[in-house]
Amino acid sequence: MSTHNLEDMGCGTSSVKDTRSEQVLKAAVVIQNWYRGYSTRLKARQRYALTIFQSIEYADEQGQLQLSNFFSFMLENYAHIHEKDPEIVARLFGSTLQDYKDRQDYVAFVDVPNSYNGPRLQFPLTFTDIDLLVDAFKQQQILHARYVLEVLFETKKVLKQMPNFTHVKTSPSKEITICGDLHGKLDDLLLIFYKNGLPSGSNSYIFNGDFVDRGRNSIEILMILFVSFLVYPNDLHLNRGNHEDFMMNLRYGFTKEILCKYKIHGKQILQILEDVYTWLPIGTIIDNEILVIHGGISESTDLNLLHRVERHKMKSVLMPPTPLDGDPDTNVKKKKFNTTILPREVKTSASHSEQLTKHEWEQVIDILWSDPRGKRGCYPNTSRGGGCYFGPDITSKVLNRYQLKMLIRSHECKPEGYEICHDGKVITIFSASNYYEEGSNRGAYIKLSSGMAPRFFQYQVTRTTCLRPLYQRVNAIESSAIRILRERIIARKTDLIHAFQLQDRSKSGKLSMSQWAFSMENTLGLNLPWRSLSSRLVTTDTNGDVNYMSSFQDIHIQKPVKEAQSTLIETLYRYRSDLQIIFNVIDSDHSGLISVEEFRSMWKLFNSHYNIQIDDFQIDELAERMDLNKDGSIDFNEFLKAFHVVHKLDKLNKSGSSLA
């Protein structure tokens, strides 16, 4: 046989084919390695973005908790509050508002007009009403205020009969579903019900707190949950979260949502909600083995005490028990300010029987606010400013003490919707997908039954039929995170410049990367990877040194009062949420107005407590300018809204759209 014939049979080309196969394989490996590296870099960027979101979220919560100290300080030093408006004292530190007189005082005078075309509830409620509400809310209908009030009163009546911890039983044939934070994200709740079924006698649920705030549909979620609870009180269980708290709602959006959707009856709804929150159970125990609470535990968690505590006395985490006249621990340092702010003893209408003890209050704070960590021991939760961090040893110790096997909690956003830690003894479940930004995280829920391992179900609500590519999602998440971080930076511009200049001894306008990162962390305290983030925040020279003034490029705070000094503007912007809450508390008639004198007095008190270096004459001048029609009153909500950050990109977009 000739060589030519052998080649025709393919024998001569085998080596060529082998070479080609090898090249294809090498190319595939190169592409695979590139893609893995690309995917890893994207995931790292996503992780950094989530770290920014979480750090700023926890820093805000820390500021919110610090307000509790301010309110105590305010009562000790603000003369007006005792003489002019004792109701504020009762609201902050007294008993819950008197039992709202009678239900009829609220409901009887709220008529449902014939023109109303939303859902109409029939009392006593049935499964049909749950279905009705779900369908109506899918169509973005608003439930009439009369029905909202009726549901709240009915819910409170049933909750008052319940223990602090609900004990539930499962069996191999009867599972229970546990959902974590929903935070006003109605689409997530509807998706859970679509995948898992509506609550019923054979489909039990536990919703583990934080139903409200942040999202746009908190009242809709509350109404679905409360109506389901009223129809199936033995099969739908509600635990209180740290956001079921009227003071938290003032900062995080639910109060605003109610007043916007219910312009006439919103204030009554908020008043009753304030009371309903206090009657929510603080935990659930499944099969005497699994503890379900919103936050976590501490080394001193006493479940026996928590079973006995009068939970309705816990109005707000911002309202710790206050020493009354004659209390042995009423030993507060007094300060003098001016003629309108005087040292006074705290006098409230509350008695010891209307308050939790300090120890009881701390026990409840721990289970609502604490977070697990890998490090052993129990130490202060410095990120949030409340509760503690608890390690695996604390988990084992507390679970063993009460013959429990597992702790299920929520309270923390997790990229995959859930997380298992402490050798499988602690599970975090978070049910609000896209919590920070679309694509930022998945939501999840757990299904449990006696003798079976927990089963996890994940999901992600999307606006389109399929998720955008990973790189687009990461770009959107990262851009949003950098945007809010820049706003945090510009709010501390004066402090940061001072910190930079202390390091810049040669006055070159430049710092090494480590000096810049140190100054950022030391001033902002966000515990962020500043070196990794630097490429998105500042410009550097060829030597890698940072042009530190570029930290503030393309962004500034809008000045509603042009003559005001930058330090004052930054301070008002930085503390605008705190000030809004304080002024809303003082504004007991919900008029949106406070007197110029009240503004001056409160600001000087705030100034002193937070050690802010702003001259009194600046505040006096500002107060005069805020009184636009010179009637002695200030519309503080509108004024504080005027302090906002302007991004260069926003201005370009606006000018582009106006040209179009």
User: Could you write out the DSSP letters of every residue in 393-457?
Assistant: HHHHHHHHHTT--EEEE--S--TTSEEEETTTTEEEEB--TTSSSTTS--EEEEEE-TTS--EEE
Same domain, yes or no, for 516 and 592? no
Cβ 188 vs Cβ 225: under 8 Å: no
Asked whether the beta carbons of 184 and 213 are under 8 A apart, the reply is: yes
Give the span between the Cα atoms of 203 and 398, in whole angstroms: 30
Are residues 299 and 199 part of one domain? yes
* Segment 410-450, tens digit of pLDDT: 999 999 999 999 999 999 999 999 999 988 999 999 999 98
Residue 561 located in a structural domain: no
295 DSSP assignment: S
What percent of the chain lies above the pLDDT cut of 70? 84
Q: Note the pLDDT of residue 80.
A: 52
pLDDT higher than 50, residue 67: yes
Whether 600 and 575 share a structural domain: yes
Range of the domain at 295: 103-326+353-459
- Residues 500, 453 share a domain: no
More confident residue, 235 or 602: 235
Secondary structure letter of residue 371 according to DSSP: E
200 in the same domain as 314: yes
pLDDT at 350 over 60: no
Domain tally, the chain: 3
User: What is the pLDDT at residue 347?
Assistant: 41
Sequence-distant (≥ 6) Cβ neighbours of residue 39 within 8 angstroms: 470
Q: Looking at the structure, tell me whether residues 596 and 620 fall in a common domain.
A: yes
Q: What is the DSSP letter of 311?
A: G
CA 464 to chain centroid? 26
Q: Which stretch of DSSP H or E encloses residue 207?
A: strand 204-207
pLDDT digits (tens, 9 = 90+) for 507-527: 999 999 999 999 999 999 999
Within a domain: 502: yes
| Average pLDDT in the chain | 85
Residues 531 and 433 in one domain: no
Domain of 509, CATH number, reads 1.10.238
- 548 shares its domain with 645: no
Q: Is 373 part of any domain?
A: yes
pLDDT band at 10 (very low <50, low <70, confident <90, very high): low
Both 594 and 534 in one domain: the answer is no
Per the domain annotation, does 528 fall within a domain? Answer: yes
Whether residue 475 is contained in a domain is answered as no
For residues 251 and 309, membership in a common domain is answered with yes
Looking at residue 344, the DSSP 8-state letter turns out to be: -
Any domain includes 95: no
Band of residue 87 on the pLDDT scale cut at 50, 70, 90 = low
The yes-or-no verdict on residue 125 having pLDDT over 80 is yes
pTM, 2 dp = 0.85
Mean pLDDT of 12-21: 72
If asked whether residues 253 and 132 sit together in one domain, one would say yes
Does residue 391 have a pLDDT over 80?
A: yes
Active site residue 243: yes
Of 452-461, 540-549, 556-565, least confident by mean pLDDT is 556-565
Q: Which of 144, 183, 237, 243 is catalytic?
A: 243
> Can you give the CATH number for the domain in which 584 is found?
1.10.238.10
Q: Which residues contact 400 (CB under 8 A, 6 or more apart)?
A: none
Question: 374 pLDDT exceeds 90?
Answer: yes
Kindly state whether residues 452 and 364 are assigned to the same domain: yes
Domain assignment present for 358: yes
How far is residue 417's CA from residue 435's CA, in Å, rounded to a whole number? Answer: 10
pLDDT of residue 45: 87
In a domain, 53, yes or no: no
CATH of the domain at 388: 3.60.21.10
Encoding tokens for residue 310? Answer: 């009068």
Q: Note the pLDDT of residue 35.
A: 77
Most confident of 73-87, 259-273, 318-332: 259-273
